[in-house]
């Protein structure tokens, strides 16, 4: 995954997301998941639009099952928002961009 989203793993998740000061959005995805491919460009657009305000990351659920299970991700794509390391919102499915913007704005305040 190129762009402004940071690929994270089970080993890096605590450092990159749980210890992050501010808002972080993590896209839980898999290569075989069609809806994941639909939402990926939307997440990239948001990463560009919110550069410097929100940290964006992607976590491959197949390669990182420990974190996937820890946050009870059962359907993908799932987008989880963390504020100062605490899970504050979970969005499941390939939702429209305005819906994700609404969730980001809600937690930026």
Query: Do the bridges between strand 23-29 and strand 78-83 make them parallel or antiparallel, or are there none, so unpaired?
Result: antiparallel
Q: What is the pTM of this model?
A: 0.95
Which is the catalytic residue, given 33, 42, 54, 79?
33
Domains of the chain, earliest start first: 19-37+55-94 (3.40.30.10)
Instruction: Mark whether 109 is an active-site residue.
Output: no
Instruction: Mark whether 76 is an active-site residue.
Output: no
3-state SS class at 1: coil
pLDDT per residue, tens digit, the chain (109 aa), is: 446 999 999 999 999 999 999 999 999 999 999 999 999 999 999 999 999 999 999 999 999 999 999 999 999 999 999 999 999 999 999 999 999 999 999 999 8
């Amino acid at each position: 995954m190129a762009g402004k989203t940071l690929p994270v793993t089970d080993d890096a998740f605590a450092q990159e997301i749980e210890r992050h000061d501010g808002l972080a959005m993590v896209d839980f995805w898999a290569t075989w998941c069609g809806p994941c491919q639909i939402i990926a460009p939307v997440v990239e657009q948001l990463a560009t639009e919110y550069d410097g305000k929100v940290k964006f990351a992607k976590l491959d659920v197949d390669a990182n099952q420990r974190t996937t299970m820890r946050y009870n991700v059962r359907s993908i794509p799932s987008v989880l928002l963390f504020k100062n390391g605490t899970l504050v919102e979970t969005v499941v499915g390939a939702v429209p961009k305005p819906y994700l913007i609404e969730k980001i704005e809600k937690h930026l305040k």
